[in-house]
């Protein structure tokens, strides 16, 4: 009888334990059903209804969230510090305006803008005339029997040539001047149909990109709606100590207009950078210390990828490393994706705190930390 009682006690113990476990599971299930989250920011979880502290959307029960909204998560990869890969459903991409483009390998040009003017340069005109006269004098005395006369003529040519270099003419332009034997009268008063000289003042930091032969376009109020095209002939070797600029001389072949010397012009010089790996300017997030883009990887995740910028050229950026031609990158809404990436990368969730009560017609703005009028 004693053994029977002990046996019944054991059976009763296991029966009660089983019931308790079932009740605990049911309680856990019910507790899970009462978790409230934000459809746009699933990392926000609360145990009661309310509003998302990030986007102020109404929180919904966990089980009521569509599957395609539970889509932001973190993947352990080599990423910029404090970031994570982000998954976004097609619907959410449409909602925040995500646009993508392709990394391209193509010829790239840097456009250098500068102020300029129509040249009025009697000094350079005189220097050209003196150089031509020195060459003619050298030719006249080449058969002289007096060596000193010939040496003197050679020194005059070299001296005149050096002066032209100091004034900014290139060796190639000086050679052409010696062959033509004609000083540029357009440096004084340009005439219709005559070559036109334009002087552009280019800042010191841009001079390395400009070389003789580069294409240039000039425009301005004195030209009306016209744009004249020419070529860079020379770049001054001496920097102006006051403006930190150097003079770039541009030759326009044929103006077909009567223009006044010293008239102001806008100058654009096109400097070829060769074939480069390029991305749109809007695709790059740059803190000054590091830069990254969001690449759509093989898993269709938005992956923050560190890049090294080689050169900026208008609305395009040449990339030294980090991406390859053909990769798909985000070109619009990347700031919103970056916010998600940082939130996920930080691993920080909003604390469950009570939202302050605001007067009718207002709501509590978490970031501003005070009540604001309803939009």
Q: What is the CATH number of the domain that holds 304?
A: 2.40.420.20
Over residues 194-215, the mean pLDDT reads 91
Task: Please give the pLDDT value at position 354.
Answer: 62
Task: Please give the pLDDT value at position 316.
Answer: 93
Say if 64 falls within a structural domain.
no
Query: 């982000």: which residue's tokens?
Result: 86
Task: Please give the pLDDT value at position 375.
Answer: 67
| Structural domain range at position 336 | 90-106+275-346
Residue 41 has pLDDT above 50, yes or no: yes
Say if 176 falls within a structural domain.
yes
Confidence band for 40, pLDDT divided at 50, 70 and 90: low
For the ranges 2-6, 183-187, 223-227, 283-287, the one whose mean pLDDT is highest: 283-287
The tally of domains found in the chain comes to: 3
Task: Please give the pLDDT value at position 347.
Answer: 60
Task: Please give the pLDDT value at position 355.
Answer: 66
Q: Dihedral of the CA atoms 350, 355, 361, 362 (nearest 10)?
A: -60
Q: What would the pLDDT profile of 221-277 be if each residue is shown by its tens digit?
A: 888 778 889 999 888 888 999 999 999 999 988 776 667 888 899 999 999 999 999
Q: Are residues 130 and 164 in the same domain?
A: yes
Share of the chain above pLDDT 90, in %: 34
Q: What would the pLDDT profile of 85-119 be if each residue is shown by its tens digit?
A: 998 888 888 888 999 999 999 999 999 999 999 88
Q: Dihedral of the CA atoms 128, 130, 133, 134 (nearest 10)?
A: -110
Task: Please give the pLDDT value at position 143.
Answer: 78
Say if 9 falls within a structural domain.
yes
Say if 149 falls within a structural domain.
yes
Residue 71 has pLDDT above 50, yes or no: no
Task: Please give the pLDDT value at position 31.
Answer: 43
Q: Are residues 144 and 172 in the same domain?
A: yes
Residue 59 has pLDDT above 80, yes or no: no
Say if 293 falls within a structural domain.
yes
- Which of the two residues, 16 and 356, has the higher pLDDT score? 356
Angle 288-291-295 (CA atoms, 0-180°, nearest 5)?
160
Say if 258 falls within a structural domain.
no
Name every residue whose Cβ is closer than 8 Å to that of residue 113 and which is 6 or more positions away in sequence: 266, 267, 268
Q: Are residues 97 and 127 in the same domain?
A: no
Residue 12 has pLDDT above 90, yes or no: no
Over residues 195-200, the mean pLDDT reads 90
Q: Are residues 133 and 172 in the same domain?
A: yes
Confidence band for 14, pLDDT divided at 50, 70 and 90: very low
Task: Please give the pLDDT value at position 322.
Answer: 92
Residue 3 has pLDDT above 60, yes or no: no
Q: Strand pairing partners for 309?
A: 319
Angle 113-116-122 (CA atoms, 0-180°, nearest 5)?
150
Q: Are residues 284 and 341 in the same domain?
A: yes
- Checking 10-17 for CB contacts under 8 A at 24+ apart, the result is none
Task: Please give the pLDDT value at position 303.
Answer: 93
Q: Are residues 125 and 151 in the same domain?
A: yes
Q: How many residues does the chain have?
A: 375
Q: Dihedral of the CA atoms 175, 180, 181, 185 (nearest 10)?
A: -100
CB half-sphere exposure, 182, CA atoms < 13 A: 5
- Of the candidates 67, 26, 66, 61, which has an alpha carbon nearest to the alpha carbon of residue 47? 61
Residues 302, 92: contact at Cβ < 8 Å?
no
Q: Are residues 102 and 126 in the same domain?
A: no
Q: Are residues 340 and 280 in the same domain?
A: yes
Residue 203 has pLDDT above 90, yes or no: yes
Say if 132 falls within a structural domain.
yes
Mean pLDDT of the chain: 80
Instruction: Write down the pTM of the prediction.
Output: 0.60
Say if 359 falls within a structural domain.
no
Confidence band for 25, pLDDT divided at 50, 70 and 90: very low
């Amino acid at each position: 009888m004693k053994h029977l009682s002990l046996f019944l006690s054991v059976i009763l113990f296991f029966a009660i334990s089983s019931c308790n476990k079932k009740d605990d599971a049911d309680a856990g299930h019910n507790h899970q059903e009462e978790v409230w989250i934000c459809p746009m920011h699933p990392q926000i979880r609360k145990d009661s209804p309310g509003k998302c502290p990030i986007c102020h959307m109404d929180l919904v029960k966990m089980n009521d969230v569509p599957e395609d909204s539970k889509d932001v998560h973190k993947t352990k990869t080599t990423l910029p510090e404090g970031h994570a890969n982000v998954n976004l459903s097609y619907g959410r991409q449409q909602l925040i305006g995500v646009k993508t483009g392709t990394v391209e390998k193509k010829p790239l040009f840097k456009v250098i803008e500068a102020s300029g003017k129509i040249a009025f340069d009697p000094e350079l005109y005189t220097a050209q005339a003196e150089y031509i006269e020195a060459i003619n004098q050298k030719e006249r005395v080449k058969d002289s029997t007096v060596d000193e006369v010939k040496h003197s003529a050679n020194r005059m040519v070299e001296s005149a040539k050096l002066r032209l270099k100091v004034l900014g003419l290139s060796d190639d332009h000086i050679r052409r001047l010696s062959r033509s034997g004609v000083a540029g009268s357009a440096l004084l008063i340009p005439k219709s149909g005559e070559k036109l000289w334009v002087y552009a003042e280019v800042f010191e930091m841009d001079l390395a990109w400009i070389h003789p032969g580069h294409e240039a376009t000039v425009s301005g109020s004195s030209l009306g709606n016209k744009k004249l095209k020419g070529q860079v002939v020379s770049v001054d070797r001496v920097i102006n100590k006051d403006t930190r600029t150097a003079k770039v001389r541009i030759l326009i072949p044929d103006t077909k207009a009567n223009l006044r010397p010293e008239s102001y012009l806008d100058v654009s010089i096109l400097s070829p950078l060769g074939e480069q790996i390029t991305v749109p300017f809007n695709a790059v997030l740059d803190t000054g210390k590091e830069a990254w883009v969001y690449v759509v990887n093989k898993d269709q995740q938005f992956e923050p990828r560190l890049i090294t910028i080689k050169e900026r050229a208008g609305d395009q950026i040449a990339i030294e490393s980090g991406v390859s031609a053909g990769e798909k990158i985000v070109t619009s809404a990347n700031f919103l994706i970056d916010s998600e990436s940082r939130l996920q990368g930080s691993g920080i969730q909003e604390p469950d705190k009570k939202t302050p009560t605001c007067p009718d017609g207002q709501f509590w703005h978490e970031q501003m930390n005070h009540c604001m009028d309803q939009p």
